Every structure is written in structure tokens, then in C-alpha cells.
Amino acid sequence: MRSLQAEDAGPAVATASGPAAAVPTTVTVETSPSAVHAADLSLARAAVETVVRVGLMLALAGWCLWITRPFIFALIWGIIIAVAINPGFQRLKALLGGRGGLAAALMASSILVVLVWPVSMLTSSLIANLSELAIRLMDGSLRLPPPPAGAEQWPLIGPKIEQLWTMGSAGLGSVVEEIQPQLRVAAGWLLSVVADLGLGLLHFVAAMIIAGILLAHAEGGHRLASDLATRLVGARGPGLAALAERTIRGVARGVIGTALVQSAAAGVGFMVAGVPWAALLVLLCFLLCLVQIGPAPVLLGTVIWMYSTADTATASLFLAWCLLVGMIDNVLRPLLIGRGSDVPLAVILLGVLGGLLAHGLIGLFVGPIVLALGHQLFRAWLGQTDEPAGRPPD
């Protein structure tokens, strides 16, 4: 037998110094061993059922994740594209009288038509350039050609360029021979990047289709994001969801959008001028634009090459185009980056490099956005940034 004691308020007793006060009394309750055993058994059964439910939910979630694993990057990319172009979709939807499905289909198909051909051409050229570079790295045939005749006669910088070029041409061969093992590792990584390029193009097409589907259900998607955030963090959920939307849109427009426009403009100049390895140079321009350095180093090298191989008039036209490409950055940044993207440069740089190393070329687009989103949400969780009360402005 077990005895349980509980205090209960007894009858009120009046005192001389004040009003009546309750006098506590003790009640003793006797319990049998069978009742205690039944209570322990019920508690153990409830714990086992909870563990089984949680285990089944985790198993189901893991299975679903495993099934959708081939489409994870396309899904993430599609969500990013849908969030980035949602303001344009809303305007097109209003023009079409509120027909969201038609607006989503028109926007997704138009982006595919405009981008698929140049992206496919760039991908094929990039595969050829990277494959050639990897082969030259592996067999040690990568060399810097001697400076062109008459380089020392270039105005202002001619003698210095001719001297540095000659030194680099003479010394690069021995340097390549010494670091041949490291170059073979780099060549293997380049070949793996080449192998992922075709898959990346398919992911882009799938991401555009997913983005169109998400845009057609934009309102429901926004409610789902807010409800999920509320379920996870409580009353701060809608504010954090709005912050995530603003961060994705700011980085996608301001950082990646600016880099795409600037590198595409540079690529047009490379193709028209007949610059060799144009696709690889465009990729380098895109990387430098992502990390906020700009395409100036690549453009300077191509301008020097043009003056050494083409006539002065053609090279001067190419120089004027490169100057225009360099100024595009100054025009786009106030329009796009100034819309609320205050992500530090170090976060963008880590996202670009980490995304490239972890996920190939797709990581160039997904990496900085995901890392910037995590950075902003972590700051909001620490209370270091203001959360918007509602949906961010378009």
C-alpha cells in the first residue's frame, strides 16, 4: 500500500487580530500496488506510442526526401526564380484580368524561349573550352605565347607590357612542369564540372517549369510559407517569411541579376570580336561580378589581345564596348541592389565559392542566395535586424 498526502483548506477560524483564516488539514489517500502499476504501464505505453509516431514521421520524411532528391536543386532554383520574378508576374496578371494560370504560363514560356537558346549555346561552348583547358593541364601543354610584334610601341604601357609578357612566356613552362600534379587535380575537377553542365541545363528547364507552377499558385504559396513559419517560430513567423522573401529577391535581382547582365554584355562583345575561349571568359566575368570585383581584369586582358591581333579601329571599338560594359554595373546597382539587399560581401563570396565547389555551376546561383538567406534569418533570430510586418514591397 502507498499513502498520498494532500493538504486541503479546513474550516475558517476567527482570530482576535484579523478576519477568519483557513486552517489547512491533511488528507491521506491509500493506493494499491495494482493501481500504481497500471499508471506506470499507461505512461510507458504513451511514451512508446509517441516514439513510434515520431519514428514513422521521420522515416516518411526521409523517404520523401530520398525520392525527391534528384529534383531538390531544380525545386530550390524554381522557388528562387518564382520569388524573384513574382512582382512582374503580378503586373502581368493584372493586365490579363486576374488570370493567374495564363500569366504564369506566358511568363515561364517567354523566359524559356529567350534564355534556352543562348544558355544552351553558352553551355556547349563552355564544355568545349573547359575540356580543352583540362586536357592542356593534364598533358602540360599549357603555355603563354610570346608577345606580338610591335607590343613595345603601344602608347604609355607598351614597353612595360612587352617586358612582363616576355618574362611570363619564358617562365610559365618551368612553372607548369613543377606544379604538374596539382594541375592534374585541377583538370580532374574541371572535367567533373563539364560533366555537370548538361545536367545543369536540364535543371534550369525544370526550374522554370516549377517556377511557372508556383507562380500560378502564388497566393497559396505565400499563405503556406507564412503558416509554416508561424508553426515553427510562433508569432514572428510572418515577419521572418517576409524577410526571407525580401532577401531572396534582393540577392537574386541585385547580385545575380547584375552579374548576369554584365557578363552577358561582355560575352556579346567577345563573340562579335572573335575572342578565343569566349564562354570561359564569360564565366570568369560572371564570377568576378558575383563577388563584386567586376569584369575589369578579364576585359583588360581581352583589350590587350585585340590590340595585338586586330587593327586599331576594331580594337578601339572593342575598347569602347568594354568601357560601356564596365559602366553597366554603376547603373544597375542603384536600381537593383539598392532595394534592400544589405548582405555582407563576405557572405556572398562564401556562397559563390562554396556553391561552386559543392554543387558545380548550379551552386553559383543557389549558393549565395541560400547563404544570404541563412545569414539574414540568423540575424533576425538574434534580434539584430528589423523584420517587415507584412509582405515586402515589389
Q: In the block, which residue shows the cell 493586365?
A: 95
The pLDDT, as a whole number, for residue 139 is: 63
Q: Is the pTM of this model over 0.85?
A: no
Q: Which of 162-171, 272-281, 319-328 has the lowest mean pLDDT?
A: 162-171
How far is Cα 330 from Cα 297, in angstroms, rounded to an integer? 17
How far is Cα 172 from Cα 37, in angstroms, rounded to an integer? 83
The pLDDT, as a whole number, for residue 191 is: 67
Single residue among 21, 36, 64 that ends a domain in this structure: 64
Identify whether the C-beta of residue 352 lies closer than 8 Å to the C-beta of residue 368. Answer: yes
- CA atoms lying within 13 Å on the CB side of residue 31: 11
Is the model more confident about 298 or about 249?
Answer: 298
pLDDT band at 284 (very low <50, low <70, confident <90, very high): confident
Spatial CB neighbours of 106, under 8 Å, sequence gap ≥ 6? 92, 96
What percent of the chain lies above the pLDDT cut of 90? 2
Identify whether the C-beta of residue 392 lies closer than 8 Å to the C-beta of residue 249. Answer: yes
Q: Which of 1-5, 20-24, 300-304 has the lowest mean pLDDT?
A: 1-5
Three-state secondary structure string covering 18-48: EEEEEEEEEEEEEECHHHHHHHHHHHHHHHH
pLDDT greater than 80 at residue 118: no
Q: Which of 25-34, 76-85, 108-117, 344-353 has the lowest mean pLDDT?
A: 25-34
Q: Is residue 248 in some structural domain? A: yes
Q: Is residue 388 in some structural domain? A: no
Same domain, 29 and 83: no
Average pLDDT over residues 379-384: 76
How far is Cα 41 from Cα 47, in angstroms, rounded to an integer? 10
Average pLDDT over residues 276-298: 85
Q: Is residue 334 in some structural domain? A: yes
Same domain, 22 and 106: no
Residues spanned by the domain of 196: 72-382
Digit-coded pLDDT (tens) for 155-202:
666 677 666 666 655 555 555 565 566 666 766 666 666 666 667 778
User: In angstroms, how far is CA 46 from the centroid of its own chain?
Assistant: 43
Same domain, 162 and 24: no
Q: What is the DSSP string of 252-302?
A: IIIIIIHHHHHHHHHHHHHHHHT-TTHHHHHHHHHHHHHTT--SHHHHHHH
Q: Which three cell numbers stand for residue 225?
A: 510559407
Identify whether the C-beta of residue 225 lies closer than 8 Å to the C-beta of residue 82. Answer: no
The values of phi and psi at residue 27, to 5°, are -115, 130
For 99, the 3-state DSSP assignment is: coil
Q: Is residue 77 in some structural domain? A: yes
pLDDT greater than 70 at residue 307: yes
Same domain, 39 and 87: no
Single residue among 64, 94, 117 that ends a domain in this structure: 64
Same domain, 60 and 135: no
Q: Which of 183-187, 363-367, 388-392 ranks highest by mean pLDDT?
A: 363-367
Q: How many CB atoms lie within 10 A of CB 238?
A: 20
Alpha carbon distances (Å) from 175 to 131, 144, 187? 21, 11, 16
The pLDDT, as a whole number, for residue 59 is: 93
- CA atoms lying within 13 Å on the CB side of residue 383: 0
Single residue among 44, 64, 84 that ends a domain in this structure: 64
Same domain, 97 and 33: no
For 242, the 3-state DSSP assignment is: helix
Q: Is residue 150 in some structural domain? A: yes
Digit-coded pLDDT (tens) for 194-251:
666 667 778 888 888 888 898 888 888 888 888 888 887 778 778 888 888 888 887 8
> Helices marked H in 158-277 — which ranges?
158-178, 180-216, 218-233, 237-251, 258-273
Q: Which three cell numbers stand for residue 371?
A: 547563404
Same domain, 369 and 325: yes
| Structural domains counted in the chain | 2
Same domain, 188 and 40: no
Q: Is residue 394 in some structural domain? A: no
Same domain, 92 and 45: no
Identify whether the C-beta of residue 116 lies closer than 8 Å to the C-beta of residue 242. Answer: no
Q: Which amino acid is at 242?
A: A
pLDDT band at 343 (very low <50, low <70, confident <90, very high): confident
Same domain, 223 and 127: yes
Is the model more confident about 114 or about 50?
Answer: 50
Same domain, 161 and 50: no
Q: Is residue 16 in some structural domain? A: yes
Q: How much is the mean pLDDT over the chain?
A: 76
Same domain, 202 and 284: yes
Spatial CB neighbours of 169, under 8 Å, sequence gap ≥ 6? 143, 144, 145, 146, 147
pLDDT band at 4 (very low <50, low <70, confident <90, very high): very low
The pLDDT, as a whole number, for residue 28 is: 52
The pLDDT, as a whole number, for residue 309 is: 79
Average pLDDT over residues 55-79: 87
The pLDDT, as a whole number, for residue 175 is: 54
Q: Is residue 391 in some structural domain? A: no
